[in-house]
Copies of this chain bind each other. A is one copy, B any other.
Amino acid sequence: MTQSFTSFIPPTRVLMGPGPSDVYPKVLEALARPTIGHLDPKFVDLMDQVKQLLQYAFQTDNALTMPISAPGSAGMESVFVNLVEPGDKIVVCQNGVFGGRMQQNVERCGGIAIMVQDDFGKPTDLNKVREVLLANPDAKALAFVHAETSTGVLNDAKALCQIAKEFDCLSIVDAVTSLGGSELQVDKWEIDAIYSGTQKCLSCIPGLSPVSFSEKAIAVIKQRKHPVQSWFLDMDLVMGYWGQGTKRAYHHTAPVNSIYALHESLLILQEEGLQNAWQRHFKNHISLKNGLDKLGLSLLVDEKYRLPQLNMVLIPNGVDDALVRNRLLTEFNLEIGAGLGSLAGKVWRIGLMGCGSSQKNVDYCLSSLETVLN
């Protein structure tokens, strides 16, 4: 017989790691409203609103814009399994952990990933991308991470998409950490396929992945020679449920309550305004940066391509990484992130995402760090 457990009452943390970020109280309220059926007309109306609100967040008119019913890594997979067929060449830019995950995805689809490698902490080198595309005129797509959550680098999405266009490639963009936090223009930049997460700059609960596909991407999907290897993520089937009109074919049972939460978080974003949200993320980043300077702490990433919502702080010599994070968590209920991949032990990742991007959080983080480091 299993042990007897009791209801779980989580501690109230301040989430300043790489995500999940603090969730808006109104989003948690929405989350807990009574569940209704996934084919209920009221729910279908809500789905339509969520699609429109996501179009605003992504700055796109793409009809195929909706949340995948699973976390960002499933969103990533939805893009690759639908666009990549066996033998396809995909140029993948890697300057962090998530570029490597893209490579895994391409290869598990039977595609050939041609890697453009840059150091963790540096941006993707546009010249290298051009060279690789010149050498591979048959490449089908250029894939890159807009905001590298593992390194705190903002890649130049606009320029990379232009290069993809020049070489007649689809552009595939990981916007997990950028959506709602940094400028992102799906239509203006002509992005063909993009995925994000709800638990970063949208300050929603983790578990959903907003995606958007251009008409060009849809045409590529429609011309596939092989069936999509995933039934769950086959966009043709998913769209039977999320598609236009009131007639919806059952595909899977949507995570109804999570969709309530996403809707609420997108309402909050719309109310603030995208540009205002981007500016707020930048302003609080500068404030954190100035405070870190005073503490004698410096950032890994050069100012030119530094991500405002995720700050990579170099761990000073002689300081015990795990001990500091543990003290912050247990004494201050403050979560900051550890380094990932080759940056493990070398940096802390301090997130200022969504409603967590506030002067209050900046101050709390700085004062807590100061206490622990002294």
Choice from B12, B69, B227 contacting A71 with Cβ under 8 Å: B69
Interface 9-residue window, one of A22-30, A133-141, A282-290: A22-30
Closest residue of chain B to A46 (Cβ to Cβ) is: B8
- Give every chain B residue within 8 A of A367 (Cβ-Cβ): none
A1-34 interface with B by 8 A CB criterion: 1-13, 15, 17, 19-20, 22-23, 26, 28-34
- Give every chain B residue within 8 A of A105 (Cβ-Cβ): 231
Main SS class of interface, A: loop
Interface 9-residue window, one of A49-57, A124-132, A151-159: A49-57
Interface assignment of A252: CB less than 8 Å from any CB of chain B: yes
Choice from B104, B197, B255 contacting A231 with Cβ under 8 Å: B104
Can you tell how many copies of this chain the complex includes?
Answer: 2
| B30 adjacent to A7 (CB under 8 Å) | yes
| A69 adjacent to B207 (CB under 8 Å) | yes
Bound Cα distance A257, B256 (Å): 13
Closest residue of chain B to A54 (Cβ to Cβ) is: B2
| A20 adjacent to B38 (CB under 8 Å) | yes
A155-202 interface with B by 8 A CB criterion: 197, 199
Interface assignment of A77: CB less than 8 Å from any CB of chain B: yes
- Give every chain B residue within 8 A of A26 (Cβ-Cβ): 7
- Give every chain B residue within 8 A of A17 (Cβ-Cβ): 37
Interface 9-residue window, one of A112-120, A263-271, A300-308: A263-271
| B207 adjacent to A10 (CB under 8 Å) | no
| B52 adjacent to A34 (CB under 8 Å) | no
Choice from B13, B32, B256, B270 contacting A4 with Cβ under 8 Å: B270
Bound Cα distance A108, B232 (Å): 11
| B267 adjacent to A5 (CB under 8 Å) | yes
With contacts A38-B206, A40-B13, A206-B254 known, is A229 near B229, CB below 8 A? yes
Closest residue of chain B to A204 (Cβ to Cβ) is: B35
A207-255 interface with B by 8 A CB criterion: 207, 227-232, 250-255
18 further contact pairs, Cβ within 8 A, besides A32-B32, A101-B231: A2-B53, A5-B49, A7-B263, A8-B263, A10-B36, A11-B42, A15-B37, A20-B35, A28-B35, A28-B257, A35-B206, A40-B335, A73-B252, A74-B232, A108-B231, A197-B253, A205-B256, A207-B253
Bound Cα distance A15, B232 (Å): 24
Choice from B35, B70, B250 contacting A74 with Cβ under 8 Å: B70
Bound Cα distance A144, B330 (Å): 48
- Give every chain B residue within 8 A of A101 (Cβ-Cβ): 231
